[in-house]
Structure 1
Amino acid sequence: MKHFTLFLFFACLILSSCSPLRVVRLEPVPAQIDSYEYGNAVAVANLPTAEVKTSFFDSDSEVVIFHVEIKNTGDQAITYDPAEASITTPDGEFFSAIDPEVEILELDLGEIRRIRTNRTLAIAGVALAVTGAVVAGTVDDGGADAVSGFATVQQQLYTDLTFAVVDAAVLGLTSRQFPLNPEDLPGSEERDFWLQYAMRITTIKPGEVAIGKLAFPRSILEGEHEVALPVAGEVAKFNYLQRVYR
């Protein structure tokens, strides 16, 4: 029975490793292409109080990423929330855009859990060292070093946590406009992507432009995908043709 279980395990492992890898690329349907920027076709929608530009930027195994620019052409400030955007696949499946605020919170919580785990392990290790010193019947420099080591580890953990939750302004949000190449950006699994480059909820004053990246869960279906961005009470809609390469 044990050998049969091992056989099933390795069979599943081999089959999963042989599953086809796919690369996806999206481009606006020809009728919506306004221009090209750095190899990517740009689609433009003109709403009563906003001009919205979108272009496919990049994809990985989990998400597709669009570059978005929203210009306020009206005379009142508008607030744009990327979490309201959506993409609809050719078979009618609906996906909301990934909310950067939720992603940042989840990544911060994961970092705190990691730090807590490391702190627990460090405390346990120091406790064992101190216990060993006591059992040895000494309170010499070795025991003092162990206690000092505990304080050092604790201070380092607090320092790590401080850097993990550093204020976004220190990192410079203007860098969301750069770089132009996908390989220069941090991956969507990294905090810096959502903190510095993703489009986040933003108030856009008249004449101003908000720029950032918008991410959706990835589909592997070929055909037209509708990307919808609600802006100032209107909806900018774009039809993107997705091609899947194996």
Structure 2
Amino acid sequence: MFDLKQILLCISAGMIVILSSCAPDPVFRLQSDDENADDHNSVMQNGMEYLISDLDQSGAVLAYYRHIGDRIVMDLEVFNYSDEVVRFAPSDVHYVARSRDFKQNANGELEWFQHVIEEGSAIDPEKTMLDIDMAASREEAQERTALLLDGISATLDLASDISDAGNLTRNELRKRENRRIRDAIYRTERRDYYYQNIASLNNQRTYWETRSLRTTDLLPDESVAGEISIPLIENATEYEVIIHIGGEKHRFRYLQREYKP
């Protein structure tokens, strides 16, 4: 028999599991860091702030769009003001994620200390599309294998029907019919799952193919625009985004805010 203490402990543990499993994920937003940013102009359009950076040979316009899953999506347009062809690629977008901690300095006074958590380049659309294509190929191979096994199973069932004709009891016939109904339901669910996965992969590929900014050769006075994505670092409080165009660097700074529902 359980005593009252054990029952209360079980109830408490169950409540902790329920509460922790139902906790909503935090929501993140980026906001331009006006105090530390370079001398940028900015324009608001449909709720998005476009930061404008112009240098001698190039220009860049960057706007935060939203956090999606494990990435941060931004709108970017780059301009070539030089007299030469400039190749621009997503790898020319560099990010530095930093965190700030309130600590004591050498004099025992409290002040903000900043350190780099992670740095790297924007997500490569070409590699992402390759990963998607390989995932689709694996899905198709698994479906072909499943169809082959379905054919073998159907052949064995037919052979079993012929050999067992007139020899099965009513109960055995009912069990065989129920098994085949379950197999048919499983095949239908598997096929639906396959089509859903393929459709999802195709949609993902279409996004990276058409909306993301991809490697482009810019002629003089040309520009290119598209979306770029950088990884979400949840404990980062600041992002610096550096756009390399030709030999020039355009720097943008954002503060990351975390909201807990």
TM-score, reference length from structure 2: 0.65
Determine helix, strand or coil for the equivalent of 2:158.
helix
CA contact (8 A) 1:34 1:43 kept: yes
Gaps of 5+ in 2: 1-10, 100-115, 164-190
Question: Which one of 251, 254, 257 corresponds to residue 237 of structure 1?
Answer: 251
Task: Tell me, yes or no, if structure 1 residue 28 matches structure 2 residue 28.
Answer: no
Task: Tell me, yes or no, if structure 1 residue 43 matches structure 2 residue 47.
Answer: no
Alignment-derived partner of residue 63 in structure 1: 71
Question: Which one of 86, 90, 95 corresponds to residue 87 of structure 1?
Answer: 95
CA contact (8 A) 1:222 1:243 kept: no
Counterpart-to-counterpart distance in 1, 2:41 and 2:72: 19
Task: Tell me, yes or no, if structure 1 residue 73 matches structure 2 residue 87.
Answer: no
Question: Partner amino acid for 1:234?
Answer: E
Question: Partner amino acid for 1:45?
Answer: S
Identical aligned residues as a percent: 24
Cα 1:12–1:50 change in 2 (3 A) is farther
Alignment-derived partner of residue 221 in structure 2: 207
Task: Tell me, yes or no, if structure 1 residue 100 matches structure 2 residue 125.
Answer: yes
Alignment-derived partner of residue 194 in structure 1: 208
Counterpart-to-counterpart distance in 2, 1:197 and 1:18: 34
CA contact (8 A) 2:129 2:209 kept: yes
Tell me by how many angstroms 1:33 deviates: 4.4
CA contact (8 A) 2:40 2:52 kept: yes
Alignment-derived partner of residue 52 in structure 1: 60
CA contact (8 A) 1:62 1:217 kept: yes
Counterpart-to-counterpart distance in 2, 1:236 and 1:244: 26
Tell me by how many angstroms 1:49 deviates: 2.0
Determine helix, strand or coil for the equivalent of 1:111.
helix
Cα 1:98–1:122 change in 2 (3 A) is same
CA deviation vs aligned residue, 1:10-33 (integer Å, no higher than 9, x gap): 899647524552211112223534
Counterpart-to-counterpart distance in 2, 1:35 and 1:67: 13
Larger mean CA deviation between 106-115 and 190-199 belongs to 190-199
Tell me by how many angstroms 1:222 deviates: 5.8
Tell me by how many angstroms 1:40 deviates: 1.1
Counterpart-to-counterpart distance in 1, 2:16 and 2:157: 46
- The higher radius of gyration belongs to 2
Alignment-derived partner of residue 142 in structure 1: none
Task: Tell me, yes or no, if structure 1 residue 119 matches structure 2 residue 123.
Answer: no
Alignment-derived partner of residue 177 in structure 2: none
CA contact (8 A) 1:230 1:236 kept: yes
Cα 1:133–1:104 change in 2 (3 A) is same
Q: CA RMSD in A?
A: 3.1
CA contact (8 A) 1:222 1:244 kept: no
Structure number with higher strand proportion: 2
CA contact (8 A) 1:77 1:204 kept: yes
CA contact (8 A) 2:78 2:225 kept: yes
Cα 1:81–1:115 change in 2 (3 A) is same
Aligned residue runs from structure 1 range 223-234, under 5 A: 223-234=237-248
Determine helix, strand or coil for the equivalent of 2:77.
strand
Task: Tell me, yes or no, if structure 1 residue 17 matches structure 2 residue 18.
Answer: no
Question: Partner amino acid for 2:146?
Answer: L
Question: Partner amino acid for 1:130?
Answer: T
TM-score, reference length from structure 1: 0.69
